[in-house]
Amino acid sequence: MFVLGITGGIGCGKSTVSGYFRDHGVRVLDADEISRQVTNTGGIALPEIAELLGSRAINSQGALNRKYVASLVFSEKKKLDKLSAIIHKYVLSTIAEEIVKEAEKKTKLLVLDVPIPVKHGFVDVCNQIWVVSTRDDIRLERLVLRGMNREDAQKRMAMQMTREEYEELGDVVLVNDGTIEELISQVEDAVKKELNERGIRI
């Protein structure tokens, strides 16, 4: 089984790339989706989060109180790091379980969509990593257009790795400074060069 990792900072267009694979029938494990599952009502990460941030971190439905938690952690890096560590632990264990299941099914290609490219559980399980890279000013405008407050968007971007740090990780770098069509064209080229030549068809 070929495990393809897709990563990049917030607002880079990572979801567009993983969406391309999903649209072509490839199984995509989306770390953001999994993190929502583990922090939704009854999610396995919630007891540890409540212990770290207090009972207000859990809302009346028994799910993560996202607005309250964001107000706590995005201005305090130590708390954010601790929260991230809890969530990542459960996200990565879920991904590891799913990789085993897909390998048993003789799946040819599995895509991991992960915003924070941790060494253990992402980098070390991927056969190849594709990085979606975008200029910071373009990312910021995209996030504002999505409805995010400019200051919040800047804070979130500042908490992530730099463009250069992401690009250093990539076996393939997809530059998304232009249109969606231009990005998809790069994806199609990379599919031909990196996957089709390995006998992987989608």
Look at residue 159 in the predicted model and tell me its pLDDT: 85
129: CB partners within 8 A, 6+ apart: 4, 5, 6, 7, 117, 123, 169, 170, 171, 172
- Three-state SS sequence of 106-174: CCCEEEEECCCCCCCCCHHHCCEEEEEECCHHHHHHHHHHCCCCHHHHHHHHHHCCCHHHHHHHCCEEE
19 neighbors 33 (Cβ within 8 angstroms): no
Mean pLDDT confidence for 65-69: 93
Any domain includes 131: yes
CB atoms under 10 Å from CB of 14, counted, come to 25
What span, in angstroms and rounded, lies between the C-alpha atoms of 28 and 16? 12
Q: Which tokens hold the place of 154?
A: 């800047």
Residue 85's CATH number? 3.40.50.300
Query: What was the pLDDT predicted at 157?
Result: 92
3-state secondary structure of 99: helix
Q: Does 168 score more than 90 pLDDT?
A: yes
Tell me what pLDDT residue 25 has. Answer: 97
Does pTM surpass 0.95?
Answer: no
Is 161 a member of any domain? yes
Residue 78 has pLDDT above 90, yes or no: no
Instruction: Give domain status of residue 202, yes or no.
Output: no
Residue 75: pLDDT above 80?
Answer: no
136 domain residue, yes or no: yes
Rounded to a whole number of angstroms, the distance between the first and last alpha carbons of the chain is: 14
Write the DSSP symbol of residue 95.
H
pLDDT at position 99 over 80: yes
Number of separate domains in the chain: 1
Tell the residue number behind the tokens 């890096």, with chain if given. Answer: 77
125 found inside a domain: yes
Which of 83, 91, 85 lies closest to 65 in space, CA to CA?
A: 83
Nearest to 166 by CA among 61, 12, 23: 12
The range of the structural domain enclosing residue 76 comes to: 2-196
